[in-house]
Amino acid sequence: MISVAMAVYNGEKYLEVQLDSIVRQTKQADEIVIVDDCSTDQSMEIIKKFQGKHPNIRVYRNKSTLGYKKNFREVIRLCQGDLIFLSDQDDFWMPEKVHIMSDIMETHPDIQVLASSFEFMDADGKSYSVKLRKGMSNNNLYLKPVQANSLVSVTFDEFCSHNYFQGCSMALSKTAANAYLANWTDRIPHDWLIALLASHENGFYFLNKPLFCYRTHSQNTIGIPKGKKAEEWVRLKFAEDMRDAMTTVRDIWPEEFKKSDVYQKRILFADAHIQALHNRSFWDLIWQNLNPVYHELKSGRARLMDLYFVLFK
């Protein structure tokens, strides 16, 4: 049984396009589960219109606004499928997304979570591309080169430093969904938690084939601050993310964390790096450049920009 899990909040502008792309899949989902997080626009009316034509759509509405992390937990909890596709409200699925990904997971039962690549599209639905940087893939989100159409495993250690894949790119086995629900935390985004848990069991894989269009617009759930705060946000984000990820690892696998010098060094470095950036400490950053965790966290260019930030911003 295949489920689609969609979390909705004030999605009227793009919701119809996304729902239409889901119901037009070459391989149909058995259920499309939608949880509306108390939208104040026409989202519920749009959903009900689709539900009238597609009885496999199940709709729920929260009693109060939960926020996207808790809302995704709720919609995943309500899914009954052995395979669960996560869906944003504003993207567009290519017609064979469900078919291709479900076939791969049937053929490879060791895969707990499968993420696909994507294409960018703007607010008007026009596709655009970004220049692929050397040594990267997945529109520069994954810090490793992967050949087109290849299927590769992504390790737990990689996810301890960075999150590379959006939730909307993922299909989850029931095992992965249950692990996520059992270990839920709002410390990190739902997709990163899912990735950590699956990769810990050697069950996270990436298919470097674009199977959906990821829409970028001013109302994306996770956005970059504007103005003067943007630069500080960019400088701090990677270290804060590493700290939060390692804290999550410590909470879920405490004995494993205690035994690992690597994990402890990461969390100590992240705290020290955040402090150095807050204090605008040039010499602390120079000293930190001797730490291999800094090289793991940021590229050479990013480390130079940290120095520029503390001196001139």
Structural domain contains residue 287: yes
Cβ atoms of 34 and 58 within 8 Å: the answer is yes
Q: Is the pLDDT of residue 104 over 80?
A: yes
Full residue range of the structural domain in which residue 271 is found: 229-312
Cβ atoms of 6 and 39 within 8 Å: the answer is no
Assign 233 a pLDDT band (cuts: 50, 70, 90): confident
What is the per-residue pLDDT for 220?
A: 52
Which of 188, 215, 242 corresponds to the end of one domain? 215
Alpha helices in the chain (DSSP H): 15-23, 43-53, 68-78, 97-107, 156-159, 174-182, 190-200, 229-252, 254-259, 261-278, 282-288, 292-297, 300-312
- Over range 84-99, report the average pLDDT: 97
Length of the chain: 313
Tokens of 132: 């692929």
Is residue 255 domain-shared with residue 180, that is, in the same domain? no
Is residue 63 domain-shared with residue 134, that is, in the same domain? yes
Tokens of 90: 């504003």
Which of 215, 241, 264 corresponds to the end of one domain? 215
Q: Is the pLDDT of residue 98 over 60?
A: yes
Is residue 302 domain-shared with residue 194, that is, in the same domain? no
For residue 198, the Cα-to-chain-centroid distance in whole angstroms is 13
Assign 223 a pLDDT band (cuts: 50, 70, 90): very low
Number of domains in the chain: 2
Cβ atoms of 47 and 8 within 8 Å: the answer is yes
Q: Is the pLDDT of residue 20 over 60?
A: yes
pLDDT digits (tens, 9 = 90+) for 236-258: 998 999 999 999 999 999 999 99
Is residue 144 domain-shared with residue 27, that is, in the same domain? yes
Is residue 236 domain-shared with residue 307, that is, in the same domain? yes
Burial zone of 190 (CB within 10 Å; 0-12 exposed, 13-18 middle, 19+ buried): buried
Which of 181, 215, 249 corresponds to the end of one domain? 215
pTM of the model: 0.92
Is residue 40 domain-shared with residue 136, that is, in the same domain? yes
Among 66, 29, 65, CA closest to 50 = 29
Structural domain contains residue 222: no
- Over range 95-120, report the average pLDDT: 97
Buried b / exposed e across 131-159, counting CB within 10 Å, b at 16+?
eeeeeebbbebbbeebeeeebeebebebb
Is residue 160 domain-shared with residue 239, that is, in the same domain? no
Q: Quick one: what percent of the chain has pLDDT higher than 70? A: 96
Is residue 158 domain-shared with residue 289, that is, in the same domain? no
Tokens of 78: 């309500």
Q: Is the pLDDT of residue 103 over 90?
A: yes
What is the per-residue pLDDT for 224?
A: 45
What is the per-residue pLDDT for 197?
A: 98
